Structures are given as C-alpha cells and as structure tokens.
Structure 1
Amino acid sequence: MAPFTLHLLRHGEPERPGRLMGRTDCPSSAAGIQDCIDRAMALEVEAIVCSNLSRAQAAAEEIGHRKGLAVTIDPLWRELDFGAWDGLAPEEIDPAALARFQANPDANPPPDGEPWSQLVARVGRALDRLSPRDTLIVTHGGAMRAALAHLCDLRERNTWAVALPYAALLTLEVWLSDPLSAQITGLRT
C-alpha cells in the first residue's frame, strides 16, 4: 500500500511562553496562531486533527475554516502531563529534579506527571487510528517527539535532538504496517 503524508505542526507561541505547559490550557497569541496558518496553508491535506488544548485547537480550527475541512479534536494528541510542574517556568523547578527528568524522562517523570513511555503509548494509539490519508495534526512539541519515537523507532534521547520551536512543521511519509513506520521528509522551523 502507498504511504500517506503526515504533517505534524506545533502550536504557535502561547501567551505565556517559556513554561512547561503540559495540561495547562494556555491559549496561543494571535501572532502564534498566524504563524501556524502561514505554515499550513500551502499543505495539501484531506484531514485535520488537533489536541483538545486551545493553543493547538485555535490554529487548527482557523486552518480548517480556510481550507474548508472539519477539524477532529483528539485529546490523545495533548502534551506530556508535567504534573506538579505544569505551568511553571524551568527556573521555578528544583534544578536537580529537572536535570534528572531531562536525562531520563521515563524513569524520572515530574511529580504526579506522565512518564515518557506513557506519552509515546498514548500518541501511538492516536497514530494507529488515523485513516491513511494526507493529514495535518496541530499538536505539541512532546507529542511530536513521541510520534517520532513511535513511527521511526527513535530512542527518547534522539527525539529530543530534533529542534521543534513554536509553529515547527514536521512532515513524514507513513507506511501502514505492523507497527506503523515512517520516514522524515521535511522539517521547517
């Protein structure tokens, strides 16, 4: 079977940038939404999916409106849950605990937070239920990295080597197989 194209678009800059915004529902700025629109308008897609957090949903809905496509909201595409650290700036977190998390986010998740492997499994479930058609997913940096881990069999350390600033666009060719597999065909930051 022929592959389909999957575009993963990170939400635009939030109104409160520089914080660990996992489950915190902080909207994107108007400029951040426009950055996402600018990235997405040249894409040829048949479907649009997004996280249920407003910083992803607002851009997805505007893109869908302009392209004449309905948007499917899927909470499986949410960001990593940072637990007690959610909404905090890195300098507000114990440096030793943050360093342990950054070195091994699966073994050292934030207090009451989600381990990396749970995020990868959650995003894997979202990927497994996609229809094989060219799709844009407006989501979060952690979810994009989890998709890379799931589709390209990358270790967590390798996924964090990929720079994904706000409104970054990652394009993959995805083959339906068991498990799904993909090849990165483009990255725009």
Structure 2
Amino acid sequence: MSAVTRLTLLSHAMTEAMAAARFAADEPLSELGLRSVQKADHSTLRADLIQVGPEARTAQTAAQLGLTGSTEPALRDLDCGAWTGSGMGDIAPEHLMGWLTDPDHRSHEGESITTLLERVRAWMDTLAQDPQRILAITHPAVVRATILIALSAPATSFWRIDIPPLSATTLHQRGGSWTLRETALHL
C-alpha cells in the first residue's frame, strides 16, 4: 500500500468584503467571523504540518483556533488587481461577465483563474513529495482550485463550487492522483 498525503483545506471565517460581495483587500475577520470561529469545534483538525495563507483573515482564523503554522505564499487569495476593494456593482458588466465565464480573463490586471490553478497545482505537487497530514488555512478560491485539480475538472467550473466560511475540504493523494475525500461545514 502506498503512502497517503491527506490535505485538509479550511476556508477562513467571514469578512466584511464577503458579506458585502466586494473584492477583498487584506482585511481582518468581521465581528460575525470572529464569533463563528470562536464557537467552532476544531477538535477534528489534526495535522503534521499547518500552512496558512499570508493575509490577515487567514492568520486570524488560525490564531482564533489556537493553531500555529507557517505562512505559505501559494495559499494567498486570488489577486483581483484593480478591482480590489470594489463591489460587484462597481465593475462594468461586460468585464464582470468575462471574469465569471472565461478562466483566462484579466481585465482587472490581476490573476486569472487559469493562473491561480497553475499556482495551486505547483503547491499541491510539492505536498505529494512528503506524505503526511496537512492543514491549510486559506481562501475559497484556493479551495475551489484544489477541487478542480483533484477532479481534473475544467477551469470553467470554478464559479460553480460554493465554499462557505469555515468549511473544511479534505483531499487524499496516493500514487500520483488526488481524490476529493469530503467537504463539510463541520466547524
């Protein structure tokens, strides 16, 4: 039997940008997010290695759960470029629809979905080299990317996956292939 890498991705708690449908800047958790993470049952989160996205909201989620991990740049949120801080209604409809339907779209001069997938795939490839239990505290966009990679799903499916705050998604890697194990809002 080959060794298994178990990767659990925890989406950070709620922020004001999430609640207002804005493109997030580096912001802390909202009051609702803080209350939610303080009530969370994290007893099932076990890991040999904990990695945390570099933004305030991921670090704060980890700290509120009493988890200490290393900052991993590959776990950073999707770079929305010039749209950062803007609401969905502030974006020209043709640009917003392009972003939601074309994985290579970059009218915002940030990161495309395709580029995000490449970044996340490279990070996942490094994890498979050392089988262990890994907990990654990150963003919904990164979690979506890992699911698409595990399922070999098309990038156009990116926006069809809903990742709620404080949800945990677990993947297994064995023999060179990733498998989606579970996704749950169990915290």
Partner of 1:49 in structure 2? Answer: 51
Q: Compute the displacement of 1:100 (Å).
A: 1.1
Contact 2:10 2:169 in 1 (8 A): yes
Partner of 2:116 in structure 1? Answer: 119
Partner of 2:22 in structure 1? Answer: 19
Count the aligned residue pairs.
179
Could you tell me which amino acid in structure 1 is paired with residue 131 of structure 2? P
Partner of 1:186 in structure 2? Answer: 182
Q: Compute the displacement of 1:101 (Å).
A: 1.0
Contact 1:132 1:176 in 2 (8 A): no
Q: Secondary structure at the match of 1:45?
A: coil
Partner of 2:140 in structure 1? Answer: 141
Which sections of structure 2, spanning at least 5 residues, go unmatched? none
Q: Secondary structure at the match of 2:65?
A: helix
Q: Secondary structure at the match of 1:170?
A: strand
Residues 157-168 of structure 1 correspond to what in structure 2 (within 5 A)? Answer: 157-168=156-167
Contact 2:100 2:159 in 1 (8 A): no
2-side partners of 1:15 and 1:98: how far apart? 20
Between 1:49-58 and 1:110-119, the stretch displaced more is 110-119
Could you tell me which amino acid in structure 1 is paired with residue 138 of structure 2? T
Correspondence 1:102 to 2:105: no
Could you tell me which amino acid in structure 2 is paired with residue 76 of structure 1? A
Deviation string 1:131-179 (CA, Å, 9 cap, x unpaired) is 32111111111111111222331112333322112222111122252xx
Contact 1:49 1:136 in 2 (8 A): yes
Contact 2:6 2:133 in 1 (8 A): yes
Change in 2 beyond 3 A, CA 1:14/1:186? same
Contact 1:10 1:167 in 2 (8 A): yes
Change in 2 beyond 3 A, CA 1:110/1:63? farther
Q: Compute the displacement of 1:36 (Å).
A: 4.4
Partner of 1:152 in structure 2? Answer: 151
Could you tell me which amino acid in structure 2 is paired with residue 6 of structure 1? L
Which sections of structure 1, spanning at least 5 residues, go unmatched? none
2-side partners of 1:184 and 1:39: how far apart? 22
Q: Secondary structure at the match of 2:160?
A: coil
1-side partners of 2:148 and 2:79: how far apart? 17
Q: Compute the displacement of 1:30 (Å).
A: 4.4
2-side partners of 1:162 and 1:168: how far apart? 12
Could you tell me which amino acid in structure 1 is paired with residue 158 of structure 2? T
The percentage of aligned residue pairs carrying the same residue is: 26
Change in 2 beyond 3 A, CA 1:163/1:10? same
2-side partners of 1:159 and 1:83: how far apart? 19
2-side partners of 1:9 and 1:39: how far apart? 13
2-side partners of 1:71 and 1:33: how far apart? 19
Q: TM-score, normalised by structure 2?
A: 0.85
Q: Compute the displacement of 1:8 (Å).
A: 0.9
RMSD: 1.9
2-side partners of 1:36 and 1:4: how far apart? 26
